[in-house]
Amino acid sequence: MIGQAYLEVIPTRTIVERLVHLRKHAYISITCSPAHGVGPTLDMVDELRGLPEERQLKLVPHIAARVVRDKGHLREILARLDEARVESVFVPGGDALQPAGDYDCSLDLLRDIAEIGHRFEYVGVAAHPEGHAFISEIESLRLLKEKQEVSNYLVTQMCFDPGVLIDWLRSIRAAGITLPAWLGLPGVADIPRLIALSMKIGVGQSVKTLKKQKGLMRRMISAKPYQPDDLLAGLEPFLDDPKLDIPGFHLFSFNDVERTERWRVDTLKKLNGKALAG
């Protein structure tokens, strides 16, 4: 049985309109921009909370450490999320080149969140199966071990190679990382844009695997979008392994909500024999 799958979206002026394609109480992850900070993320949380009951979603806002100025700013963010009845947050380091203030890594922010106190049921952290541009593999593992004390799930960086994902997951389990692992998969997207975004966020190695996928060049020429069917097929044999602890997938929608949600429902329904929850 394959677990759950939920979508990540980017806060924009029109994104809320596109979320009409999601079922009531579906989970939705809301990114935090290195250029615009956490403000648009919080504004989108407030806007979604103002929708009618039949359109209410379960929100997972991102709080990127490098856009938070100081502990006072963090208190303000937590107060807004508490008022909005947010039950889950995701705390990455963030892609801002320079920290906005006191936090240059997510571990320090996570510790302050724990010290201040919160009502979140879930606190997630980022993990990088293909490595991090600025942190060694050894240091990344050390940080993940420490983050484990102040979080209760992880989300992997987007990856196109099932072998890389599974080998990495086995290695961190052997090293004592027990956080449930939500695997980051690309959603449905136009292929040239997907490749460009992937290179930008540093998953170049697995893009090589993407380029080898059967029929990719034909789809590029015909303008057919990428769908992560081959990737999911490669992961499927490992999804029930209790030692790996994979509850489901984090789908990077690139704001193509309608196509990604349609793929999510149709494809995973076929694999499970029934529609997946949220």
Q: What is the pLDDT of residue 137?
A: 87
Check which CATH number belongs to the domain holding 160 and give it.
Answer: 3.20.20.220
Check pLDDT > 90 for residue 32.
yes
Distance CA 178, CA 245 (A): 8
Distance CA 72, CA 93 (A): 18
Check pLDDT > 60 for residue 47.
yes
Residue 98 is part of which domain span? 4-272
Element holding 15 (H helix, E strand): helix 15-18
Q: What is the pLDDT of residue 202?
A: 43
Using alpha carbons only, what angle is made at residue 214 by residues 213 and 219, rounded to the nearest 5 degrees?
95
256 neighbors 188 (Cβ within 8 angstroms): yes
Distance CA 180, CA 150 (A): 14
Mean predicted confidence (pLDDT) in 207-223: 49
For 128, other C-beta atoms within 10 Å of its C-beta total 18
Averaged pLDDT of the chain: 88
pLDDT class of 40 with cuts at 50, 70, 90: very high
For 21, the token pair is 């394609």
Q: What is the pLDDT of residue 204?
A: 45
Q: Is residue 172 part of a domain?
A: yes
Q: Is residue 277 part of a domain?
A: no
Q: Is residue 256 part of a domain?
A: yes
Distance CA 55, CA 23 (A): 8
Distance CA 70, CA 74 (A): 6
Report how many domains make up the chain: 1
pLDDT class of 242 with cuts at 50, 70, 90: very high
Distance CA 107, CA 91 (A): 9
Classified as helix, coil or strand, 93 is coil
Q: What is the pLDDT of residue 155?
A: 98
- The string of pLDDT tens digits covering residues 101-131 is 999 999 999 999 999 999 999 999 999 998 8
Q: Is residue 157 part of a domain?
A: yes
Close Cβ partners of 265 (under 8 Å, ≥ 6 residues apart): 275, 276
Q: Is residue 278 part of a domain?
A: no
**274 vs 88, which has greater pLDDT?**
88
Q: What is the pLDDT of residue 221?
A: 42
Q: Is residue 111 part of a domain?
A: yes
Check pLDDT > 60 for residue 233.
yes
189 neighbors 183 (Cβ within 8 angstroms): no
Residue showing tokens 């190679």? 161
Q: Is residue 25 part of a domain?
A: yes
Phi, psi of 34 (to 5 degrees): -65, -25
Q: What is the pLDDT of residue 156?
A: 96
Mean predicted confidence (pLDDT) in 210-224: 51
Q: What is the pLDDT of residue 212?
A: 52
- The string of pLDDT tens digits covering residues 140-192 is 999 999 999 999 999 999 888 899 999 999 999 999 999 999 999 999 988 77
Q: Is residue 192 part of a domain?
A: yes
